[in-house]
A and B are shown apart, each in its own frame.
Chain A
Amino acid sequence: MTSPGTLKVAELFAGFSDSQRLVVAALARERRAAAGETLFRMGDQAEAFYVIVRGRVELVFPLTVMGETREVRFRSLEAGGTLAWSALVPPHRLTMSARAGTDVELLAFERAATLEALRAQPTIGHLVMSNLAGVVAIRFHEMLALWVREVQRNVSQTYR
């Protein structure tokens, strides 16, 4: 079983008591991946979400460059970061791919079992969903800022 102490750095489990971490730790399954390995692909069903214990994971998206499609890094996540949070939010569809930037250790939480546990323990469920909202909000604000800047750049170049 995963040590509850491992979950202390996880952004998704911030504010948890030791007993609450113990409950969540029982749901976790350890997963390791070598540098360069693909962890999941964009468009797949999110059957599990992950917490990074050690190493660096890169979120990538496909970009066509000179007729060739390449995976371009959008951002890197490190220990404590949450991956594939789409597993907790319908329609449970992954919106980016992930690959290990270094050798990584992850904790995987199966969607069905985790959602059932969160329903059974509403206090924990509320905390997880509050933290998840925070994680999603930060990503949303980052994306929004990048998008507005790109629009601004295009407008400035097109209408001079």
Chain B
Amino acid sequence: MWLTVIIACVLFVAATVAILGFGYQQMEQDRREKAEAVLARAPLAREGYCPLCDAPLRRASTVEQVVYEVERRIDAELQDVVQLLGRPAPEGLRRLYRASA
């Protein structure tokens, strides 16, 4: 008699744990599917831009760093322009006004 009761209790507990486990798995799967659907609809975030408002991200820089960066960029761009101006047209002209990223 007691043995029957104990077996019934063990089975009841096992069934309860199993139901809870399956329920939790189902909830996780639903949540994952919803999250994937939201991500699929979200616009792609660009590197260097805010993923929410797409504003350019500001880096922590000093004035000297900015001046150095600007001068470096002008040097590179000017070097490219001078090189292209020296090439026979139209090969050079096609690329002359094309901006790099």
Contact = CB atoms under 8 A, between A and B. Distances in A.
Interface stretch (B5-13, B15-23, B25-33, B93-101): B93-101
A65 B63 CA distance: 6
Given A63-B70, A65-B63, A142 B82 contact: yes
A138 interface: yes
Interface string B64-101: 00110011001101100110110000000000111111
Contacts of B98: 149, 152
Contacts of A72: 67, 70-71, 74
A153 B63 contact: no
Contacts of B67: 63, 65, 70, 72
A153 B78 contact: no
Interface majority SS on B: helix, strand, loop or mixed?
helix
A67 to B, nearest CB: 9
A66 B78 CA distance: 25
Interface residues of A, number: 20
Contact of B85 (A142, A150, A153): A142
B29 to A, nearest CB: 36
Given A68-B63, A72-B70, A72-B74, A142 B81 contact: yes
A56 interface: no
Contacts of A68: 63
Interface in B44-71: 63, 66-67, 70-71
A73 B74 contact: yes
B85 A146 contact: no
B63 A74 contact: no
Contacts of A141: 81, 85
A149 B97 contact: yes
A145 B70 contact: no
Given A65-B67, A74-B74, A146-B78, A138 B85 contact: yes
Given A65-B66, A141-B85, A149-B100, 4 more contacts: A75-B74, A75-B78, A142-B82, A152-B98
Interface of B: 63, 66-67, 70-71, 74-75, 77-78, 81-82, 84-85, 96-101
